[in-house]
Amino acid sequence: MSNIYDQVHRLAKDLKETDEYRDYISTRDAAMDNETNRALIKEYKKLQFQLQVALTGGGQPNAADMERLQKISGVLQFSQEASAYLLAELRMQKLLGDIYKIIGEAVELDMGFLEG
């Protein structure tokens, strides 16, 4: 039997051949080619992460950060490249989440937290 890490490397190679990955890379490159998009996306992701951490920790998200996130989101929606990239990233995250769930179920990990 081959090494588990060899199999994971094969999976990673196969992932790079998916439509989801190719779409993610092409839309990311197009979005990040614009300096304004790049700065807004970076700030959007930073705020999104901070708010997720606050919610996960049982705290309340900062209202100013919530408002800023909503404003940035509104601006990004007007950029076809930025919105296409964020949607492609979401599809890629879903694919990776599905893979994680399949592996978790195979080794009988409690995956209840992934269910809505």
66-111 pLDDT per residue, tens: 999 999 999 999 999 999 999 999 999 999 999 999 998 999 887 5
Q: Could you tell me where the DSSP H helices lie in the chain?
A: 4-15, 19-32, 35-56, 63-77, 80-106
- How many residues are listed for the chain in this entry? 116
Could you tell me if residue 43 is inside a domain? yes
**pLDDT higher than threshold 60 for residue 1:** no
Could you tell me if residue 32 is inside a domain? yes
Could you tell me if residue 114 is inside a domain? no
Residue 31: domain span: 4-107
Short-list 18, 24, 70, 23, CA closest to 47: 70
Percent of the chain clearing pLDDT 70 (strictly above): 93
**CATH classification of the domain holding 40:** 1.20.1500.10
Could you tell me if residue 12 is inside a domain? yes
Could you tell me if residue 113 is inside a domain? no
- Kindly tell me the sign of the dihedral angle through the C-alpha atoms of 32, 71, 50, 111: negative
Could you tell me if residue 116 is inside a domain? no
Could you tell me if residue 112 is inside a domain? no
